[in-house]
Structure formats: C-alpha cells, structure tokens
Amino acid sequence: MTTYAAVYAAWKADPEAFWMDAAQRIHWHQPPSRALFDRGNDLYEWYADGLTNTCYNAVDRHVADGRGDQVAIIHDSPITGTIRKITYADLLTRVATLAGALQAQGITKGDRVIIYMPMVPEAVEAMLACARIGAIHSVVFGGFAAHELAVRIDDATPRAIIAASCGLEPGRVVHYKPLLDSAIEQATHKPDFTVILQREQEPCTLIAGRDLDWHAFQAGVTPADCVWVKGNHPAYILYTSGTTGQPKGVVRPTGGHMVALHWSMKNIYNVDPGDVFWAASDVGWVVGHSYICYGPLIHGNTTVVFEGKPIGTPDAGTFWRVISEHNVRSFFTAPTAFRAIKREDPKGVYRAKYDLSCLRALYLAGERADSDTIVWAQNILGVPVYDHWWQTETGWTIAGNPAGIEALPVKLGSPTVAMPGYDVQVLDEAGHPVGPNTLGAIAVKLPLPPGTLPTLWNATDRFKKSYLSHFPGYYETGDAGMIDEDGYLYIMARTDDVINVAGHRLSTGAMEEVLASHPDVAECAVIGAGDELKGQVPVGFLCLTKGVNRPHDVIVKECVTLMRDQIGPVADFKRAVVVDRLPKTRSGKILRATMVKIADSQPFKMPATIDDPAILDEIKAALQGIGFAKG
C-alpha cells in the first residue's frame, strides 16, 4: 500500500518527475517539454510550453471517452423548488454553442469576460465557454455591491460581462441588473456588450445595443471548437481581499490548474470518476472555481450546483436531503454552515430522516474549524471529518488529509499535513525556521506547486511585495501557526488585516476606507471580533469630526448602509460604535490586535508603547454596549 510519507518523499526527491507524471492524467494537444519553468527573480511557471484546453479536459474528453450520458451537473435549488440534471453530452452542446456565440461577438483568446451570476448551471457553463475559446474569465461573487464590481471591471478590463437578471436569497430577490448597470456606470472601462440570462423570478429590461439576451444571442450560431492554449495561459482571474480596498487579481494558469485539481480529486477527496462530489460553496469563491466547476468536471465526476443555504431553505435538513437524494460521496463545505445547522438542530432530528450511507467523508475549509463543530459533525454523520487549509492564491489544498492515499489520524485543531508540492515552514520574524510547536509565520518554500498563482493580474510588483519580499525564497501565506513533532500543521490567525466572516475573506482595510468616506467620520478602525456562528464579524469604531453633534445611532446606521452599498451585504457589517479616540502606539499605530482581544474577552499584555492605557477601558465599555467584551 502506498503511504502519504512515501508519496510526499517521492515528490521531494524529484518534483519534476512527480509533476510530469501527474500531468499525464490531462489531455495535451502538445505535451509540455518539462514541468517547471524558472523565470528568475523568484517567478515560476508550470507546463508553460504545453498546449491544452480546460474545457476539452472538463467536457469533450469525457464525451469522447463514453461518459456522454453521465450527469455532469445537478442543479438543486431549494429556493426555486427545482432540480435539473445536465449530462456531459448536453453540457458539450450547451457550452460549445455559448462559446460560439461569444466568438461571433468577437471574443477571442486572451480577452477578459466578467461573470456575475447566482448559483445556476449557466454560471458554470459561462466559465467553461470562456475556457473553450481561451477567454479569461473573472467571476464576481453576487453578494458584492456595484462598487466592488466596478473596481473589478476597471482592473480586468473585460470585453464582455455575462450576468443574470437576478439572484435569489432566502426571502429576498437580489436585483443583479441594477447592480450591473450601476457598476458599468461607475467604472471607467466599459465592456463592449453584456449577456443577460433572464430568470423568471425577476426578468429585467435590456439596454438596446449593449445587453444581449442569453438565448437569443446563441440562436443559429456555429458551435465553437476548443482553442488550444499554452500551459501558462491564464484560465481565470479571481479577485480576493488584501489589506487595501484594491482587491488582488489572482491569476490561475491553465496547465498547472488542471494537473493539480485532477490530482486532488482522488488523492484528497477520494472520489473516482462517475462519483457525485458536492462542494456547498458559491461559484464566486475559489472553492466554487476549484470544486464546483473545474475539479469534479476535469476528473469526470458529477458536481452539484446548490442554490440554497444550510438552514432555512427550507430547514436544517437540506444538506442531508441533497446528499441522500443525489448519492453524494464526498461533501465539502465551510465550518460556519455546520455551526448554523448545529445551532438550529443540535440533536440531529433532521439528520435522522435521511439515509446518508452514500457519504464517505466531510471536508471542511475556508476558516478555522473549531473542535466542537468537528466532533458534532463526526457524531452526527458517522463519517471522517477532514479539515483542510488553503487559499484563493493556491487554488487547492496546502495542508490536508490525503484520504485517497492513506487516511491519517485526525488531530482536532489541525488540518493535518502538507500536500506534495508544498514545503511548508514556520518562520520567526527574521525568516528562520522555528522548531516544533513554536508559533510563527507560515510560509511555503518556493517554487509553489502547479495550480498556484504565478503572479497577480497586471501587478507583478504587487505580487512580489505582498507575498515574496518579507521572507526571501518563500511565499508568505499571511497565516500564523505551528507544526507539531508529527508534521501536523495548526493555523492560528492571520498576520494581516484579513478577516474571515462565515468563510468569506474580507479586508478590514477596505472597510475602513468605506467608513472614512462618511463625511462625519474623522478617524476609524475595523476589527474582526469572534462570533459563535460566523467565526468572526466586523466591528467598526468611529471617531467623529469635531463639531458634529448628530445622534450617534443615526451616524452608525448610515455607516452600515454605506458598507452595504459599497462592499455589499456579504461584509455583514452591522455593528459599529462611536468613540472619542482610538488606542494607539506612541508612533500613532492603531492597536487593532489589542482591541480584538478586548472584544473577545481574551487576556492581553498592555502594549509597552501604548499612548494612554485609559483608552482601553473606553473601548471595552463601548464594546460591551454592543454585546462584546462580556467575559
């Protein structure tokens, strides 16, 4: 039997051979001459001179191999009460036609296309259609507001935007079209055209000469063939939060992406082609890219596109119904979803209604998985629960439990061990590796493996500055933690201003920029305070401009609305307080980490450089007023 240790050692001994072997699972129109291309200055690419196509590997190849009748996509929408199944053969026809229609409008290799859609199969089809013709897609999550969409339009400069008329949240229709129109108006760059999928729940008015109807623009077009692209051609750009309001455009290269995802489907998620795999996330996040769309399809699995929530659509048994009804083998979601179900149905009354014998394992990622949630999930499901750690930047697991090779013993609080390709080290501030069980910055020795980001879109200097400059020779993950004597990794906290709200990555810096734009706000700070359900929630502190004497609750309300309009409902910014001053060091740095400790009722050391310790009592009192710092 192969062991994890043997596989990891084989990679370490000869990474080139390891990744050339893995590349053989992918169809290449022209195979790459080698795996790694060292571009100098710590920049690397994988499979750069091979020729391939992502859509061919995700769709055409399976039809050619006789999987045409297998269901590729199950769309299960408890919100609309519908279930739709699309076979690989159907998917090929649909995607080739959509790609042909885009081509007929002049979209060619290298053009960017933004996709702003809810959880409908057409979102996945739009991604695949772009890949088919070598266009570079950038999916924007539906919970972002018009301003965030506008920022992405200006950065990616798309020739087209594909959107739906509306999205559906429980009890609320998300009006996509007005958001889209407003974003295009706000953006400096204008797309040549948009394509709108009209949903019957809320059709919209199309702007003549700019907006094309999804169905009408495909009528009578010639289906597109796959366009072969180089291994280093960007498959997509996905924006993620950094420390400022300007999101980072993570570039995903075609060849390495497919090789890594294909490897992960068996070795990590332990599914075989034909099995049903379900990631309950959203196409707007990296989990949706890798494990709703590309990973399962490239590997010949059936993927589930789920339009619903863990609770309330209609009840806390929805996940169990979907698993049971669609014969899901491996299931992937964020811990927050399980916390929501546990809160609603702690005894698992809904769970008992369904036969879940098809399920082999649960995978959790996106945020720290607390031990209570893992143990509850283990008990209620009776299958192994695997935490695994990764990021938008990597696109696939950095540390996980390689269940398809060998299921390693689970240690609560640890996402287990580094995957092949990742030489993970914990460094002290000077960049020296520390010993076992010692906290430090988590970094990965360069080069990163296939599938990870080679750079940021149009921003190589920012890429180097953000990830490569702090610890020369390493990629800085932005997470802090430790490795124990068995090589198990523990992720403890972020080292930057990124917070994680219900598995969604958000920037407190970006939120501060929004608050600072309020005319009455002179100074502000945003922290991520601990929350039982969502892991963290943002809390704002507002210092008002001298002379402003409007009621504080009105100003707080305006700030909450401003955040919803500027960043979007997904920021979940609902709590803010007005304070006289912020705690700072003598050099003027706001002591956000200390404020977090106060909010979470954690012990903290009085910062030696604090300007005036009495401010901390004021902060505590303000936090108590909104339900924090209770301990």
Phi (first) and psi of residue 325, to 5 degrees: -65, -35
281 binds, options ligand COA, ligand AMP, none, Cβ within 5 to 8 A by partner type: ligand COA
Strand intervals (E) in 319-463: 328-333, 361-364, 385-387, 399-400, 417-418, 424-427, 440-445
Of the listed pieces 63-71, 114-122, 472-480, 518-526, which binds ligand AMP according to CB under 6 A?
A: 472-480
- Interface contacts to ligand COA, rule CB under 6 A: 142-143, 167, 169, 174, 280-282, 285, 287, 309-311, 334, 336-337, 340, 366, 502-504, 533, 569-570, 572
392 binds ligand AMP (CB under 6 A): yes
**Residues of this chain, 410-429, that bind ligand AMP according to CB under 6 A:** 415
- Residue pair 362/376 in contact (Cβ under 8 Å)? The answer is no
One-letter amino acid identity for 21? D
Determine the length of the chain: 631
- Burial degree of 33 (CB within 10 A; 0-12, 13-18, 19+): exposed
Cβ at position 157, least distance to ligand AMP in Å = 23
Q: How far is the CB of 366 from ligand COA (least distance, A)?
A: 4
Considering the complex, what minimum distance in angstroms separates the CB of residue 624 from ligand AMP? 28
98/179 with CB nearer ligand COA: 179
Residue 572 interaction partner, one of ligand COA, ligand AMP, none, beta carbon < 5-8 Å per kind:
ligand COA
Q: Choose among ligand AMP, ligand COA, none what residue 443 binds, the Cβ cut-off being 5 to 8 Å by kind.
A: none
Among 71, 86, 377, 491, binds ligand AMP (CB under 6 A): 491
Angle at which helices 371-381 and 335-344 cross, to 10°: 70
Asked whether position 494 contacts ligand AMP by CB under 6 A, the answer is yes
Residue 527's binding partner among ligand AMP, ligand COA, none (Cβ under 5 to 8 angstroms by kind) is none
Q: How far apart are CA 94 and CA 177, in angstroms?
A: 24
Write down the H helix ranges in 517-627.
552-566, 592-599, 614-625
User: Mapping DSSP to helix (H, G, I), strand (E, B) and coil, where does residue 418 land?
Assistant: strand
Structure tokens at 423: 């030489």
Residue 136 contacts residue 125 (beta carbons within 8 Å): no
Cβ 613 to ligand AMP, closest distance in Å?
30
Nearer to ligand AMP, 425 or 477 (CB): 477
500 touches ligand AMP (CB under 6 A): yes
* 301 close to 88: Cβ distance less than 8 angstroms: no
Choose between 384 and 569: whose C-beta lies nearer to ligand COA. Answer: 569
Q: Is 366 helix (H, G, I), strand (E, B) or coil?
A: coil
625: three-class secondary structure by DSSP: helix
Angle (CA) 612 613 615, round 5°: 80
Distance CA(231)–CA(31), nearest Å, equals: 9
CB of 348 to ligand AMP, least distance (A): 23
Q: Which of 242, 321, 238, 310 is nearest to 280 (CA)?
A: 310
Selection from 140, 400, 102 nearest residue 288 by Cα: 140
Nearest to 15 by CA among 39, 41, 31, 34: 34
- Binding-site partner at residue 335 among ligand AMP, ligand COA, none, CB < 5 to 8 Å by type: none
Q: How many residues bind ligand AMP (CB under 6 A)?
A: 20
Q: Is 366 in the site for ligand AMP (CB under 6 A)?
A: yes
What gap in Å lies between CA 502 and CA 533, rounded to an integer? Answer: 7
Q: Which of 15, 35, 10 is nearest to 24 (CA)?
A: 35
281 touches ligand AMP by CB under 6 A:
no
Nearer to ligand COA, 60 or 76 (CB): 76
Cis peptide before 447 (omega within 30 of 0): yes
**Could you say which of ligand AMP, ligand COA, none residue 514 binds, taking C-beta under 5 to 8 angstroms by partner kind?**
none
Provide the minimum distance between the beta carbon of 318 and ligand COA in the complex, in angstroms, as a whole number.
10
Using CB under 6 A as the binding rule, the residues of this chain from 25 to 84 that contact ligand AMP are none
Q: Do the Cβ atoms of 508 and 528 come closer than 8 Å?
A: yes
Q: Least distance in Å: CB of 279 to ligand AMP?
A: 12
Which span (78-86, 151-159, 171-179, 474-482) binds ligand AMP, by CB under 6 A? Answer: 474-482
What is the amino acid identity at position 527?
A: I
Site for ligand AMP contains 367 (CB under 6 A): yes
| Residue placing its CB nearer to ligand AMP in the complex, 254 or 536 | 536
Residue with tokens 């609320």: 172
Binder to ligand AMP among 368, 575, 584, 592 (CB under 6 A)?
Answer: 368
The structure tokens 């609309």 sit at: 80
Binding pattern for the stretch 238-267 against ligand AMP, x by CB under 6 A and - elsewhere: --x---------------------------
Candidate ranges 133-141, 305-313, 389-397, 405-413; the one touching ligand AMP (CB under 6 A) = 389-397
Instruction: Pick the piece of the chain touching ligand AMP (CB under 6 A) from 101-109, 212-220, 367-375, 538-546.
Output: 367-375
Rounded Cα distance between 153 and 237, Å, is 12
- Considering CB distances under 5 to 8 angstroms, the limit depending on partner class, which of ligand AMP, ligand COA, none binds residue 96? none
Q: How far is the CB of 145 from ligand COA (least distance, A)?
A: 9
CB of 26 to ligand COA, least distance (A): 25
Pick the stretch among 82-90, 202-210, 456-464, 473-481 that binds ligand AMP (CB under 6 A): 473-481
Among 122, 148, 307, 479, binds ligand AMP (CB under 6 A): 479
The DSSP output letter for 382 is: -
- The CB-of-445 to ligand AMP minimum distance in angstroms stands at 17
Question: For the chain, what is the radius of gyration of the CA atoms?
Answer: 24
Helices (H) and strands (E) in the chain, counts: 19, 31
- Structure-token match 């009592």, residue found: 617
Q: CA torsion sign, 427 to 429 to 430 to 436?
A: negative
456 part of the interface to ligand AMP, by CB under 6 A = no
We find the least distance from the C-beta atom of residue 558 to ligand AMP, in angstroms, to be 29
- List the single partner that 334 binds among ligand COA, ligand AMP, none, CB under 5 to 8 Å by kind: ligand COA
Token reading at 20: 């050339």
Q: Among 391, 414, 452, 455, which residue interacts with ligand AMP (rule: CB under 6 A)?
A: 391
Report the alpha-carbon angle 179-184-189, nearest 5.
155
- What residues line the site for ligand AMP (CB under 6 A)? 240, 286, 365-369, 387-389, 391-392, 415, 477-479, 491, 494, 500, 505
